[in-house]
Structure 1
Amino acid sequence: MQDLIKHLVKDVMPPRLFRLLKPSNEPTDAWGSARWGLHGSLVLPGNRRFEYRPCVADRGVCKQIFFLRSYATDTLWRAKEIAAFYEACENPLIIDAGANIGASAVWYALTYPKAKVVAIEPDISNFALLKRNAASFPQITPLNAAIAAKHGTLYLNDPGGGEWAFRTAEQPVDQGYAVDALTLEDVIPPGVTPFILKIDIEGAESDLFSRHSEVLNTFPLVVIELHDWMLPGESNSRNFLQWHVEMKRDFVQMGENAISISNSIALS
Protein backbone atom coordinates (compact mmCIF):
# COMPACT_ATOMS: atom_id res chain seq x y z
CA MET A 1 0.00 0.00 0.00
CA GLN A 2 2.82 2.41 0.85
CA ASP A 3 4.42 1.81 -2.53
CA LEU A 4 1.09 2.48 -4.25
CA ILE A 5 0.65 5.76 -2.37
CA LYS A 6 4.23 6.74 -3.23
CA HIS A 7 3.64 6.14 -6.95
CA LEU A 8 0.31 8.02 -6.89
CA VAL A 9 1.96 11.03 -5.23
CA LYS A 10 4.75 10.95 -7.77
CA ASP A 11 2.25 10.83 -10.64
CA VAL A 12 0.22 13.85 -9.51
CA MET A 13 2.96 16.04 -8.01
CA PRO A 14 4.73 18.50 -10.35
CA PRO A 15 8.09 16.94 -11.34
CA ARG A 16 10.17 19.90 -10.14
CA LEU A 17 8.52 19.89 -6.71
CA PHE A 18 8.95 16.11 -6.47
CA ARG A 19 12.69 16.41 -7.17
CA LEU A 20 13.06 19.10 -4.49
CA LEU A 21 11.28 17.01 -1.85
CA LYS A 22 12.97 13.73 -2.77
CA PRO A 23 15.87 12.92 -0.42
CA SER A 24 19.23 12.92 -2.19
CA ASN A 25 20.85 9.63 -1.24
CA GLU A 26 22.66 8.78 -4.46
CA PRO A 27 26.28 7.78 -3.89
CA THR A 28 28.96 10.31 -4.81
CA ASP A 29 32.56 9.76 -5.78
CA ALA A 30 35.36 10.07 -3.24
CA TRP A 31 36.64 13.16 -5.08
CA GLY A 32 33.25 14.88 -4.76
CA SER A 33 30.87 15.62 -7.58
CA ALA A 34 30.47 17.62 -10.76
CA ARG A 35 27.84 20.27 -11.36
CA TRP A 36 26.40 21.76 -14.50
CA GLY A 37 28.00 25.07 -15.41
CA LEU A 38 27.22 27.69 -18.01
CA HIS A 39 28.00 27.75 -21.73
CA GLY A 40 28.46 24.02 -22.25
CA SER A 41 30.64 23.09 -19.32
CA LEU A 42 30.75 21.11 -16.11
CA VAL A 43 32.43 22.41 -12.97
CA LEU A 44 34.77 19.87 -11.40
CA PRO A 45 36.65 19.98 -8.08
CA GLY A 46 39.35 22.66 -7.98
CA ASN A 47 37.14 24.83 -10.21
CA ARG A 48 38.32 22.88 -13.25
CA ARG A 49 36.02 22.95 -16.27
CA PHE A 50 34.93 20.11 -18.48
CA GLU A 51 33.71 21.31 -21.88
CA TYR A 52 31.03 19.71 -24.01
CA ARG A 53 29.17 20.74 -27.14
CA PRO A 54 25.55 21.95 -26.88
CA CYS A 55 24.12 18.71 -28.27
CA VAL A 56 22.12 15.81 -26.87
CA ALA A 57 24.98 13.32 -27.37
CA ASP A 58 27.57 15.27 -25.38
CA ARG A 59 25.20 16.15 -22.56
CA GLY A 60 24.09 12.52 -22.40
CA VAL A 61 27.71 11.33 -22.10
CA CYS A 62 28.35 13.78 -19.25
CA LYS A 63 25.20 12.73 -17.42
CA GLN A 64 25.98 9.01 -17.74
CA ILE A 65 29.55 9.30 -16.51
CA PHE A 66 29.62 12.13 -13.96
CA PHE A 67 26.10 11.91 -12.51
CA LEU A 68 24.94 8.32 -13.06
CA ARG A 69 28.51 7.03 -12.44
CA SER A 70 28.32 4.43 -15.19
CA TYR A 71 31.95 3.35 -14.68
CA ALA A 72 31.92 3.15 -10.87
CA THR A 73 32.69 -0.29 -9.43
CA ASP A 74 31.91 0.36 -5.76
CA THR A 75 28.60 -1.52 -5.97
CA LEU A 76 30.23 -4.76 -7.17
CA TRP A 77 30.64 -7.71 -4.80
CA ARG A 78 34.36 -7.63 -5.56
CA ALA A 79 34.73 -3.87 -5.02
CA LYS A 80 37.11 -4.27 -2.07
CA GLU A 81 39.40 -6.56 -4.09
CA ILE A 82 39.43 -4.09 -6.96
CA ALA A 83 40.27 -1.22 -4.62
CA ALA A 84 43.01 -3.30 -2.97
CA PHE A 85 44.56 -4.11 -6.35
CA TYR A 86 44.66 -0.39 -7.23
CA GLU A 87 46.20 0.54 -3.88
CA ALA A 88 48.88 -2.14 -4.27
CA CYS A 89 49.96 -0.83 -7.70
CA GLU A 90 52.69 1.77 -7.98
CA ASN A 91 51.82 2.69 -11.58
CA PRO A 92 48.34 1.38 -12.49
CA LEU A 93 47.29 1.76 -16.12
CA ILE A 94 43.81 2.53 -17.44
CA ILE A 95 43.17 2.28 -21.18
CA ASP A 96 40.13 4.24 -22.34
CA ALA A 97 39.36 2.92 -25.82
CA GLY A 98 36.66 5.09 -27.37
CA ALA A 99 37.27 8.09 -25.14
CA ASN A 100 34.92 10.42 -27.04
CA ILE A 101 35.26 13.96 -25.59
CA GLY A 102 37.14 12.76 -22.51
CA ALA A 103 34.43 12.36 -19.86
CA SER A 104 35.38 8.79 -18.98
CA ALA A 105 39.12 9.58 -19.01
CA VAL A 106 38.63 12.56 -16.69
CA TRP A 107 36.34 10.57 -14.38
CA TYR A 108 38.96 7.82 -14.18
CA ALA A 109 41.72 10.38 -13.51
CA LEU A 110 39.70 11.86 -10.65
CA THR A 111 38.71 8.48 -9.23
CA TYR A 112 42.14 6.83 -9.58
CA PRO A 113 44.55 9.79 -9.32
CA LYS A 114 47.77 7.75 -9.32
CA ALA A 115 46.80 5.85 -12.49
CA LYS A 116 48.10 6.66 -15.94
CA VAL A 117 45.17 7.00 -18.34
CA VAL A 118 45.68 6.46 -22.08
CA ALA A 119 42.62 7.90 -23.83
CA ILE A 120 42.14 6.75 -27.43
CA GLU A 121 39.66 8.49 -29.75
CA PRO A 122 39.65 8.33 -33.58
CA ASP A 123 37.26 11.18 -34.45
CA ILE A 124 38.98 14.53 -35.01
CA SER A 125 36.25 16.74 -33.50
CA ASN A 126 35.80 14.51 -30.45
CA PHE A 127 39.57 14.33 -30.03
CA ALA A 128 39.92 18.13 -30.03
CA LEU A 129 37.59 18.32 -27.01
CA LEU A 130 39.23 15.32 -25.38
CA LYS A 131 42.61 17.04 -25.63
CA ARG A 132 41.28 20.28 -24.10
CA ASN A 133 39.50 18.46 -21.28
CA ALA A 134 42.59 16.38 -20.51
CA ALA A 135 44.92 19.39 -20.40
CA SER A 136 44.57 19.90 -16.63
CA PHE A 137 45.16 16.19 -15.94
CA PRO A 138 48.82 15.38 -16.64
CA GLN A 139 48.17 11.66 -16.05
CA ILE A 140 45.95 11.51 -19.16
CA THR A 141 47.63 10.83 -22.51
CA PRO A 142 45.24 11.46 -25.44
CA LEU A 143 45.83 9.53 -28.67
CA ASN A 144 44.05 10.35 -31.93
CA ALA A 145 43.69 6.80 -33.23
CA ALA A 146 41.47 3.73 -33.28
CA ILE A 147 42.15 0.62 -31.21
CA ALA A 148 42.20 -2.55 -33.30
CA ALA A 149 43.42 -6.15 -33.53
CA LYS A 150 46.27 -5.19 -35.85
CA HIS A 151 48.35 -2.13 -36.59
CA GLY A 152 47.50 -0.25 -39.79
CA THR A 153 44.88 2.08 -41.23
CA LEU A 154 41.12 2.07 -40.80
CA TYR A 155 38.39 4.44 -41.95
CA LEU A 156 36.09 6.35 -39.65
CA ASN A 157 32.50 6.48 -40.92
CA ASP A 158 29.44 8.28 -39.60
CA PRO A 159 26.35 6.02 -39.72
CA GLY A 160 24.18 8.98 -38.68
CA GLY A 161 24.09 8.33 -34.94
CA GLY A 162 25.72 11.57 -33.82
CA GLU A 163 29.02 12.43 -32.19
CA TRP A 164 29.16 9.29 -30.04
CA ALA A 165 28.42 6.75 -32.77
CA PHE A 166 31.29 7.01 -35.29
CA ARG A 167 32.43 3.56 -36.43
CA THR A 168 35.65 2.25 -37.90
CA ALA A 169 35.75 0.04 -40.99
CA GLU A 170 38.28 -1.28 -43.47
CA GLN A 171 36.75 0.79 -46.28
CA PRO A 172 35.47 4.40 -46.31
CA VAL A 173 31.79 5.20 -46.76
CA ASP A 174 30.66 8.60 -48.11
CA GLN A 175 32.69 11.14 -46.09
CA GLY A 176 34.71 8.59 -44.12
CA TYR A 177 38.37 9.38 -43.56
CA ALA A 178 41.50 7.41 -42.71
CA VAL A 179 42.67 6.97 -39.10
CA ASP A 180 45.63 5.18 -37.56
CA ALA A 181 44.81 1.78 -36.08
CA LEU A 182 46.85 0.84 -33.02
CA THR A 183 46.94 -2.39 -31.04
CA LEU A 184 46.90 -2.65 -27.27
CA GLU A 185 50.58 -3.53 -27.43
CA ASP A 186 51.20 -0.23 -29.26
CA VAL A 187 49.56 1.96 -26.62
CA ILE A 188 50.77 0.42 -23.35
CA PRO A 189 53.70 2.47 -22.00
CA PRO A 190 56.60 0.81 -20.17
CA GLY A 191 56.72 0.48 -16.41
CA VAL A 192 52.98 0.24 -15.71
CA THR A 193 50.63 -2.38 -14.29
CA PRO A 194 47.45 -2.99 -16.33
CA PHE A 195 44.38 -2.19 -14.24
CA ILE A 196 41.26 -1.24 -16.25
CA LEU A 197 40.56 -1.64 -19.95
CA LYS A 198 37.45 0.34 -20.86
CA ILE A 199 36.06 -0.32 -24.34
CA ASP A 200 33.26 1.57 -26.07
CA ILE A 201 34.12 1.41 -29.76
CA GLU A 202 30.74 1.12 -31.47
CA GLY A 203 30.96 -2.50 -32.62
CA ALA A 204 34.70 -2.64 -33.34
CA GLU A 205 35.06 -4.89 -30.29
CA SER A 206 34.42 -7.78 -32.69
CA ASP A 207 37.69 -6.95 -34.45
CA LEU A 208 39.61 -6.20 -31.24
CA PHE A 209 38.85 -9.62 -29.75
CA SER A 210 39.33 -11.48 -33.04
CA ARG A 211 43.06 -11.89 -32.36
CA HIS A 212 44.41 -13.79 -29.39
CA SER A 213 46.36 -11.27 -27.33
CA GLU A 214 48.07 -12.08 -24.05
CA VAL A 215 47.77 -8.42 -23.11
CA LEU A 216 43.97 -8.52 -22.85
CA ASN A 217 43.98 -10.89 -19.90
CA THR A 218 46.55 -8.83 -17.99
CA PHE A 219 43.81 -6.30 -17.19
CA PRO A 220 41.97 -7.31 -13.99
CA LEU A 221 38.94 -5.35 -15.19
CA VAL A 222 37.61 -5.11 -18.73
CA VAL A 223 34.62 -2.77 -18.93
CA ILE A 224 32.92 -2.98 -22.31
CA GLU A 225 29.74 -1.81 -24.01
CA LEU A 226 28.56 -4.49 -26.42
CA HIS A 227 26.68 -3.51 -29.57
CA ASP A 228 24.58 -6.48 -30.69
CA TRP A 229 21.55 -4.21 -30.21
CA MET A 230 22.98 -1.84 -32.84
CA LEU A 231 24.16 -4.52 -35.28
CA PRO A 232 21.40 -7.16 -35.37
CA GLY A 233 22.20 -10.47 -37.01
CA GLU A 234 25.99 -10.03 -36.86
CA SER A 235 26.77 -11.80 -33.54
CA ASN A 236 29.03 -8.85 -32.86
CA SER A 237 29.78 -9.77 -29.24
CA ARG A 238 30.75 -13.38 -30.06
CA ASN A 239 34.53 -12.83 -30.09
CA PHE A 240 34.49 -11.00 -26.77
CA LEU A 241 32.25 -13.61 -25.13
CA GLN A 242 34.40 -16.48 -26.41
CA TRP A 243 37.52 -14.79 -25.04
CA HIS A 244 35.83 -14.10 -21.72
CA VAL A 245 34.76 -17.73 -21.29
CA GLU A 246 38.16 -19.08 -22.34
CA MET A 247 39.90 -16.84 -19.79
CA LYS A 248 37.53 -18.10 -17.03
CA ARG A 249 36.66 -14.62 -15.80
CA ASP A 250 33.65 -13.36 -13.84
CA PHE A 251 30.93 -11.63 -15.90
CA VAL A 252 28.79 -8.86 -14.41
CA GLN A 253 26.28 -6.72 -16.29
CA MET A 254 26.02 -3.19 -14.94
CA GLY A 255 23.76 -0.86 -16.90
CA GLU A 256 24.99 -0.61 -20.49
CA ASN A 257 28.37 -2.06 -19.60
CA ALA A 258 29.54 -5.64 -19.24
CA ILE A 259 32.36 -6.11 -16.74
CA SER A 260 34.83 -8.95 -17.10
CA ILE A 261 36.77 -9.52 -13.87
CA SER A 262 39.87 -11.69 -13.83
CA ASN A 263 39.93 -14.77 -11.63
CA SER A 264 43.53 -15.69 -12.44
CA ILE A 265 45.13 -12.38 -11.43
CA ALA A 266 45.19 -11.83 -7.68
CA LEU A 267 43.23 -8.72 -6.77
CA SER A 268 44.19 -8.70 -3.12
Structure 2
Amino acid sequence: MQDLIKSVVKDMMPPGLLRLLRPSPGPADAWGTVRYGAHGLVLPGNRRFEYRPCPADRSVCRQIFFLREYATDHLRRAREIASFYEACENPLIVDAGANIGAAAVWYALTYPKAKIVAIEPDISNFALLKKNAQAFPSITPLNAAIAARRGTLYLNDPGGGEWAFRTAEQPVEKGYAVEALTLEDVMPASGVTPFILKIDIEGAESDLFSRHCDALNMFPVVMIELHDWMLPGESNSRNFLQWHVEMKRDFVQVGENAVSISNSIALT
Protein backbone atom coordinates (compact mmCIF):
# COMPACT_ATOMS: atom_id res chain seq x y z
CA MET A 1 0.00 0.00 0.00
CA GLN A 2 2.85 2.39 0.83
CA ASP A 3 4.41 1.81 -2.60
CA LEU A 4 1.06 2.57 -4.25
CA ILE A 5 0.69 5.82 -2.30
CA LYS A 6 4.24 6.85 -3.21
CA SER A 7 3.57 6.14 -6.89
CA VAL A 8 0.37 8.21 -6.90
CA VAL A 9 2.05 11.12 -5.12
CA LYS A 10 4.95 11.10 -7.58
CA ASP A 11 2.58 11.16 -10.56
CA MET A 12 0.68 14.13 -9.09
CA MET A 13 3.72 16.13 -7.96
CA PRO A 14 5.23 18.75 -10.32
CA PRO A 15 8.51 17.53 -11.90
CA GLY A 16 10.44 20.50 -10.50
CA LEU A 17 9.46 19.65 -6.94
CA LEU A 18 10.26 16.00 -7.53
CA ARG A 19 13.74 16.98 -8.60
CA LEU A 20 14.29 18.97 -5.42
CA LEU A 21 13.23 15.97 -3.33
CA ARG A 22 15.30 13.46 -5.30
CA PRO A 23 18.51 12.16 -3.66
CA SER A 24 21.80 13.45 -5.02
CA PRO A 25 22.42 12.12 -8.55
CA GLY A 26 24.78 9.31 -9.46
CA PRO A 27 27.42 9.45 -12.19
CA ALA A 28 26.94 12.32 -14.62
CA ASP A 29 27.26 12.18 -18.38
CA ALA A 30 30.38 13.69 -19.90
CA TRP A 31 28.31 16.13 -21.96
CA GLY A 32 26.67 17.69 -18.91
CA THR A 33 23.44 17.47 -16.99
CA VAL A 34 19.71 17.67 -17.65
CA ARG A 35 17.23 19.64 -15.61
CA TYR A 36 13.47 20.05 -15.54
CA GLY A 37 12.12 23.20 -17.13
CA ALA A 38 8.69 24.73 -17.50
CA HIS A 39 7.84 22.73 -20.63
CA GLY A 40 10.00 19.62 -20.51
CA LEU A 41 13.69 18.94 -19.97
CA VAL A 42 16.45 21.47 -20.55
CA LEU A 43 19.47 19.92 -22.26
CA PRO A 44 22.99 21.33 -22.67
CA GLY A 45 23.10 24.24 -25.10
CA ASN A 46 19.64 25.33 -23.87
CA ARG A 47 18.01 22.72 -26.09
CA ARG A 48 14.64 21.38 -25.04
CA PHE A 49 13.25 17.87 -24.78
CA GLU A 50 9.46 17.82 -24.68
CA TYR A 51 7.29 15.17 -23.09
CA ARG A 52 3.63 14.81 -22.22
CA PRO A 53 2.40 15.24 -18.62
CA CYS A 54 1.74 11.53 -18.18
CA PRO A 55 3.42 8.86 -16.01
CA ALA A 56 4.80 6.93 -19.01
CA ASP A 57 6.68 9.91 -20.49
CA ARG A 58 8.01 11.04 -17.12
CA SER A 59 9.24 7.54 -16.37
CA VAL A 60 10.99 7.26 -19.74
CA CYS A 61 12.80 10.56 -19.16
CA ARG A 62 13.84 9.53 -15.65
CA GLN A 63 15.13 6.13 -16.77
CA ILE A 64 17.18 7.48 -19.65
CA PHE A 65 18.41 10.94 -18.65
CA PHE A 66 18.69 10.58 -14.87
CA LEU A 67 19.22 6.85 -14.24
CA ARG A 68 21.27 6.50 -17.48
CA GLU A 69 19.86 3.07 -18.29
CA TYR A 70 21.60 2.92 -21.67
CA ALA A 71 25.05 3.89 -20.40
CA THR A 72 27.85 1.35 -20.82
CA ASP A 73 30.59 3.08 -18.82
CA HIS A 74 29.92 0.90 -15.75
CA LEU A 75 30.36 -2.40 -17.60
CA ARG A 76 33.50 -4.52 -17.26
CA ARG A 77 33.97 -4.20 -21.02
CA ALA A 78 33.36 -0.43 -21.08
CA ARG A 79 36.88 0.35 -22.30
CA GLU A 80 36.50 -2.01 -25.29
CA ILE A 81 33.18 -0.44 -26.21
CA ALA A 82 34.58 3.08 -25.92
CA SER A 83 37.63 2.13 -28.00
CA PHE A 84 35.41 0.65 -30.70
CA TYR A 85 33.43 3.89 -30.89
CA GLU A 86 36.57 6.02 -31.06
CA ALA A 87 37.96 3.85 -33.88
CA CYS A 88 34.78 4.25 -35.98
CA GLU A 89 34.57 7.06 -38.50
CA ASN A 90 30.78 6.81 -38.80
CA PRO A 91 29.31 4.60 -36.05
CA LEU A 92 25.67 3.59 -36.46
CA ILE A 93 23.13 3.34 -33.64
CA VAL A 94 19.69 1.88 -34.34
CA ASP A 95 16.98 2.70 -31.79
CA ALA A 96 14.14 0.23 -32.37
CA GLY A 97 11.15 1.34 -30.33
CA ALA A 98 12.25 4.97 -30.00
CA ASN A 99 9.06 6.19 -28.28
CA ILE A 100 9.30 10.00 -27.88
CA GLY A 101 13.03 10.07 -28.63
CA ALA A 102 14.65 10.10 -25.18
CA ALA A 103 17.14 7.31 -25.92
CA ALA A 104 17.91 8.68 -29.40
CA VAL A 105 18.66 12.14 -27.97
CA TRP A 106 20.74 10.65 -25.13
CA TYR A 107 22.72 8.67 -27.69
CA ALA A 108 23.20 11.81 -29.83
CA LEU A 109 24.65 13.65 -26.84
CA THR A 110 26.78 10.73 -25.67
CA TYR A 111 28.07 9.63 -29.09
CA PRO A 112 28.13 12.88 -31.12
CA LYS A 113 29.74 11.40 -34.23
CA ALA A 114 27.23 8.54 -34.50
CA LYS A 115 24.41 8.36 -37.01
CA ILE A 116 21.21 7.38 -35.20
CA VAL A 117 18.18 5.77 -36.84
CA ALA A 118 15.17 6.04 -34.50
CA ILE A 119 12.19 3.82 -35.36
CA GLU A 120 8.78 4.34 -33.76
CA PRO A 121 5.43 3.00 -35.08
CA ASP A 122 2.93 4.99 -32.96
CA ILE A 123 1.80 8.25 -34.58
CA SER A 124 1.54 10.31 -31.38
CA ASN A 125 4.89 9.09 -30.03
CA PHE A 126 6.49 9.68 -33.43
CA ALA A 127 5.28 13.30 -33.54
CA LEU A 128 7.20 14.02 -30.32
CA LEU A 129 10.19 11.96 -31.47
CA LYS A 130 10.40 14.02 -34.65
CA LYS A 131 10.10 17.28 -32.71
CA ASN A 132 12.74 16.30 -30.15
CA ALA A 133 15.11 15.15 -32.90
CA GLN A 134 15.04 18.48 -34.76
CA ALA A 135 17.97 19.88 -32.76
CA PHE A 136 20.06 16.80 -33.58
CA PRO A 137 20.86 16.36 -37.30
CA SER A 138 22.46 12.99 -36.51
CA ILE A 139 19.02 11.49 -35.70
CA THR A 140 16.86 10.12 -38.52
CA PRO A 141 13.31 9.38 -37.28
CA LEU A 142 11.31 6.67 -39.07
CA ASN A 143 7.58 6.14 -38.53
CA ALA A 144 7.54 2.35 -38.85
CA ALA A 145 7.79 -0.91 -36.91
CA ILE A 146 10.88 -3.10 -36.92
CA ALA A 147 10.17 -6.71 -37.84
CA ALA A 148 11.68 -9.89 -39.22
CA ARG A 149 10.02 -9.31 -42.59
CA ARG A 150 8.93 -6.28 -44.56
CA GLY A 151 5.19 -5.70 -44.89
CA THR A 152 2.25 -4.38 -42.90
CA LEU A 153 1.54 -4.85 -39.21
CA TYR A 154 -1.13 -3.42 -36.93
CA LEU A 155 -0.44 -1.29 -33.90
CA ASN A 156 -2.70 -2.16 -31.00
CA ASP A 157 -3.09 -0.53 -27.59
CA PRO A 158 -3.36 -3.16 -24.82
CA GLY A 159 -4.05 -0.40 -22.29
CA GLY A 160 -0.55 -0.03 -20.88
CA GLY A 161 -0.06 3.63 -21.73
CA GLU A 162 1.99 5.54 -24.29
CA TRP A 163 5.02 3.25 -24.00
CA ALA A 164 3.20 -0.07 -24.36
CA PHE A 165 1.76 -0.08 -27.91
CA ARG A 166 2.28 -3.48 -29.53
CA THR A 167 2.40 -4.67 -33.11
CA ALA A 168 0.41 -7.67 -34.31
CA GLU A 169 -0.45 -9.36 -37.57
CA GLN A 170 -4.17 -8.67 -37.08
CA PRO A 171 -5.88 -5.46 -35.91
CA VAL A 172 -8.10 -5.11 -32.88
CA GLU A 173 -10.52 -2.32 -32.03
CA LYS A 174 -8.80 1.07 -32.43
CA GLY A 175 -5.74 -0.61 -33.98
CA TYR A 176 -4.27 0.78 -37.20
CA ALA A 177 -1.89 -0.35 -39.92
CA VAL A 178 1.82 0.49 -39.78
CA GLU A 179 4.67 -0.18 -42.17
CA ALA A 180 7.00 -2.97 -41.06
CA LEU A 181 10.69 -2.68 -42.00
CA THR A 182 13.55 -5.11 -41.45
CA LEU A 183 16.83 -4.19 -39.79
CA GLU A 184 18.48 -4.35 -43.20
CA ASP A 185 15.89 -1.87 -44.53
CA VAL A 186 16.70 0.78 -41.92
CA MET A 187 20.49 0.44 -42.03
CA PRO A 188 22.27 2.69 -44.55
CA ALA A 189 23.67 0.69 -47.44
CA SER A 190 27.23 1.91 -46.89
CA GLY A 191 29.41 4.43 -45.12
CA VAL A 192 28.62 3.43 -41.52
CA THR A 193 29.86 0.90 -38.97
CA PRO A 194 27.19 -0.80 -36.81
CA PHE A 195 27.78 0.08 -33.16
CA ILE A 196 24.73 -0.15 -30.86
CA LEU A 197 21.36 -1.77 -31.49
CA LYS A 198 18.82 -0.76 -28.84
CA ILE A 199 15.54 -2.74 -28.84
CA ASP A 200 12.45 -2.02 -26.76
CA ILE A 201 9.52 -3.18 -28.87
CA GLU A 202 7.03 -4.54 -26.33
CA GLY A 203 7.36 -8.25 -27.10
CA ALA A 204 7.92 -7.97 -30.87
CA GLU A 205 11.50 -9.11 -30.27
CA SER A 206 10.17 -12.65 -30.61
CA ASP A 207 9.36 -11.91 -34.24
CA LEU A 208 12.52 -9.85 -34.88
CA PHE A 209 14.80 -12.71 -33.83
CA SER A 210 12.71 -15.41 -35.53
CA ARG A 211 14.66 -15.02 -38.79
CA HIS A 212 18.40 -15.54 -39.22
CA CYS A 213 19.75 -12.07 -39.91
CA ASP A 214 23.47 -11.39 -40.31
CA ALA A 215 22.87 -7.71 -39.60
CA LEU A 216 21.97 -8.43 -35.98
CA ASN A 217 25.41 -9.80 -35.15
CA MET A 218 27.11 -6.87 -36.89
CA PHE A 219 26.32 -4.71 -33.86
CA PRO A 220 28.96 -5.15 -31.12
CA VAL A 221 26.44 -4.04 -28.50
CA VAL A 222 22.77 -5.06 -28.43
CA MET A 223 20.68 -3.61 -25.60
CA ILE A 224 17.22 -5.15 -25.34
CA GLU A 225 14.31 -5.17 -22.92
CA LEU A 226 12.80 -8.65 -22.84
CA HIS A 227 9.10 -9.05 -22.11
CA ASP A 228 8.49 -12.49 -20.64
CA TRP A 229 7.23 -10.66 -17.54
CA MET A 230 4.53 -9.03 -19.67
CA LEU A 231 3.62 -12.09 -21.75
CA PRO A 232 3.65 -15.07 -19.36
CA GLY A 233 3.51 -18.54 -20.88
CA GLU A 234 4.63 -17.41 -24.36
CA SER A 235 8.42 -17.96 -24.09
CA ASN A 236 8.74 -14.55 -25.71
CA SER A 237 12.50 -14.20 -25.18
CA ARG A 238 13.32 -17.65 -26.58
CA ASN A 239 14.29 -16.52 -30.10
CA PHE A 240 16.58 -13.79 -28.77
CA LEU A 241 18.24 -16.12 -26.27
CA GLN A 242 18.81 -18.80 -28.90
CA TRP A 243 20.38 -16.21 -31.22
CA HIS A 244 22.56 -14.88 -28.40
CA VAL A 245 23.87 -18.35 -27.49
CA GLU A 246 24.54 -19.26 -31.13
CA MET A 247 26.52 -16.06 -31.66
CA LYS A 248 28.64 -16.78 -28.54
CA ARG A 249 28.26 -13.30 -27.10
CA ASP A 250 28.52 -12.08 -23.50
CA PHE A 251 25.21 -11.58 -21.65
CA VAL A 252 24.90 -8.93 -18.92
CA GLN A 253 21.66 -7.94 -17.21
CA VAL A 254 21.50 -4.22 -16.36
CA GLY A 255 18.22 -3.14 -14.78
CA GLU A 256 15.41 -3.81 -17.24
CA ASN A 257 17.80 -4.38 -20.13
CA ALA A 258 19.82 -7.35 -21.29
CA VAL A 259 23.12 -6.35 -22.87
CA SER A 260 24.57 -8.68 -25.50
CA ILE A 261 28.22 -7.89 -26.24
CA SER A 262 30.15 -9.39 -29.14
CA ASN A 263 33.26 -11.34 -28.24
CA SER A 264 34.93 -10.17 -31.43
CA ILE A 265 34.32 -6.50 -30.78
CA ALA A 266 37.42 -5.06 -32.50
CA LEU A 267 37.01 -3.39 -35.88
CA THR A 268 37.81 -5.69 -38.80
The CA deviation string for residues 39-77 of structure 1, in whole angstroms up to 9 with x for no partner, is 3x1000000000000100000000000000000000000
Which consecutive aligned stretches of 4+ in structure 1 deviate over 2 angstroms post-superposition? Answer: 19-22
Which deviations, in whole Å up to 9, do the C-alpha atoms of 1:125-174 show, x marking residues without a partner?
A: 00000000000000000000000000000000000000000000000011
Contact 1:220-1:267 within 8 A present in 2 as well? no
2:84/2:265 contact within 8 Å kept: no
Residue in 1 that maps onto 2:204? 204
Q: Which residue of 1 aligns with 2:226?
A: 226
Unaligned runs of 5+ in 1: 1-15
What does residue range 100-139 of structure 1 map to in structure 2 within 5 Å? 100-139=99-138
Is the alpha carbon distance of 1:257 and 1:120 closer, same or farther for their aligned partners in structure 2, counting shifts above 3 Å? same
- In the other structure, the counterpart of 1:8 is none
- Structure 2: distance between partners of 1:234 and 1:25: 38
Which runs of 5 or more structure 2 residues have no equivalent in the other structure? 1-16
Query: Are positions 1:253 and 2:261 aligned together?
Result: no
For the pair shown, which has the larger CA radius of gyration, 1 or 2? Answer: 1
Partner of 2:195 in structure 1?
A: 195
Please, what TM-score do these two structures have when normalized by structure 2? Answer: 0.91
- What is the Cα-based RMSD across aligned positions, in Å? 1.5
Query: What pairs with 1:1-268 in structure 2 (closer than 5 Å)?
Result: 24=24, 26-39=26-39, 41-189=40-188, 190-266=190-266
CA distance in 1, matches of 2:43, 2:110: 12
Q: TM-score, normalised by structure 1?
A: 0.91
Counterpart residue type for residue 170 of structure 2: Q
Q: What are the Cα deviations for residues 107-137 of structure 1, in whole angstroms up to 9, with x where unaligned?
A: 0000000000000000000000000000000
How far apart, CA to CA, are the structure 1 residues paired with 2:141 and 2:256?
24
In the alignment, what sits opposite 2:9?
Answer: none
Q: Number of residues paired by the alignment?
A: 249
Shift of 1:195: 0.1
Distance 2:136 2:264 in 1: 32
User: What CA deviation, in whole Å up to 9, does each residue of 1:193-233 have, x standing for no partner?
Assistant: 00000000000000000000000000000000000000000
| Conserved 8 A contact 1:196-1:222 | yes
C-alpha separation in 2, matches of 1:202 and 1:21: 29
Identity percentage over the alignment? 83
CA distance in 1, matches of 2:30, 2:223: 20
Q: Is the contact made by 2:194 and 2:219 (CA closer than 8 Å) also made in structure 1?
A: yes
